[in-house]
């Protein structure tokens, strides 16, 4: 039996007791089309002159790759005219992007990381796009949207997902009723469902962490990792594998498919210093993983419960298998 398309899946969700508003369905389809265009640019590589850096920095102080800027523009251009959005925000931009006055405005707010794992671009490794959708506060209908309107906890997301540009182009999506995977059929240009509802396997002995940051970890994170590195001869009596791709999309997708845990803890030397962005990375990934049966914290607090203080706020991330996340959190609480 042939898998159903993304469009059919979304329309069926819309028909089932109005589980999906029409405007949200159309917004997700628009984001999915933009992801196809980004995936096409990624696949061309040097032939499309998209490799290398621009020599400029984004608001995060990170050197921008050409593809960072190209993907950002593709998402802005695809979404600003459809009438589904009140405003957008991107990891690559200092502040929000308001919908031009010549276009109609909608009730949703879109946040995105146009290219996650951009350090992988020039060497042909996996990168992706992450997105999150919120409902704009009701009072926005009578005024311009502000940054404060975006500062909602992740629990208020109405949709989130990511596109993964690797051996296959994949789109993984949740609208709050399970997690579904779609693979791009390049012959017909359509996203087709290939998995879902996805349930993250529990009990997998695998973790993803950047070991080069070991000197910056807290004693709790060091103890958690040391116990797993010790393997069958250590206190857990079990051997673990370690994986790290320098692309959150790739690491989270692997965890969704075969279990395990992903950690990018805050720097213990400077309390509050962390790498990953709450609004563009942690919140959407936490929504997806919890929908698939996992858990997500900043080390102690559930990520989806964090009240944002800014568009580019950073947080520590511990996400994946419920038991492993609980074990890491328990160590953090002890100190």
Binding site per annotation, positions for substrate: 116-119, 210
Binding residues for Mg(2+): 91, 113, 115-116, 281
Question: Which segments are annotated as binding site?
Answer: 91, 113, 115-119, 210, 281
Could you tell me which residues come within 8 angstroms of residue 215 by beta carbon, excluding any fewer than 6 positions away?
none
- Please write down the long-range contacts of 331-335, taking CB distance under 8 Å and 24 or more positions apart: 331/220, 331/221, 331/223, 331/224, 332/218, 332/220, 332/221, 332/299, 332/300, 333/300, 334/220, 335/219, 335/220
CB 314 within 8 A of CB 273: yes
Cβ atoms of residues 208 and 242 within 8 Å: yes
Q: What is the CA radius of gyration of the chain?
A: 20
Contact 282, 276 (CB under 8 A): yes
């Amino acid at each position: 039996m042939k898998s159903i398309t993304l469009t059919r899946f979304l329309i069926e969700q819309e028909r089932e007791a109005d589980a999906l508003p029409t405007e949200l369905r159309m917004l997700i389809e628009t984001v999915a089309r933009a992801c196809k265009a980004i995936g096409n640019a990624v696949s061309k590589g040097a032939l499309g002159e998209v490799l290398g850096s621009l020599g400029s920095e984004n608001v995060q102080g990170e050197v921008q790759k050409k593809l960072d800027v190209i993907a950002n523009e593709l998402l802005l251009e695809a979404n600003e005219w459809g009438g589904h959005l009140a405003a957008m925000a991107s990891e690559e931009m200092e502040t929000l992007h308001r919908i031009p006055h010549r276009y109609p405005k909608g009730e949703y707010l879109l946040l995105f990381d146009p290219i996650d794992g951009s350090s992988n671009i020039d060497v042909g490794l996996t990168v992706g796009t992450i997105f999150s959708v919120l409902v704009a506060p009701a009072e926005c209908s009578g005024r311009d949207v502000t940054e404060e309107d975006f500062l909602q906890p992740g629990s208020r997301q109405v949709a989130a997902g990511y596109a993964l540009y690797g051996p296959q182009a994949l789109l993984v999506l949740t609208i709050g009723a399970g997690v579904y995977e779609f693979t791009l059929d390049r012959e017909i240009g359509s996203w087709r469902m290939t998995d879902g509802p996805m349930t993250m396997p529990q009990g997998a002995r695998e973790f993803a962490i950047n070991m080069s940051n070991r000197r910056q970890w807290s004693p709790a994170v060091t103890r958690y990792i040391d116990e797993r590195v010790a393997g069958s001869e250590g206190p857990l009596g079990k051997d673990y594998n370690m994986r790290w791709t320098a692309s959150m999309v790739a690491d989270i997708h692997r965890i969704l498919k075969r279990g395990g845990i992903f950690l990018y803890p805050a720097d213990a030397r400077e309390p509050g210093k962390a790498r990953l962005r709450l609004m563009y990375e942690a919140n959407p990934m936490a929504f997806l993983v919890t929908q698939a049966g996992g858990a997500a914290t900043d080390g102690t607090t559930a990520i989806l419960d964090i009240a944002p203080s800014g568009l580019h706020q950073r947080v520590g991330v511990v996400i994946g298998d419920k038991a492993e996340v609980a074990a890491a959190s328990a160590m953090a609480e002890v100190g």
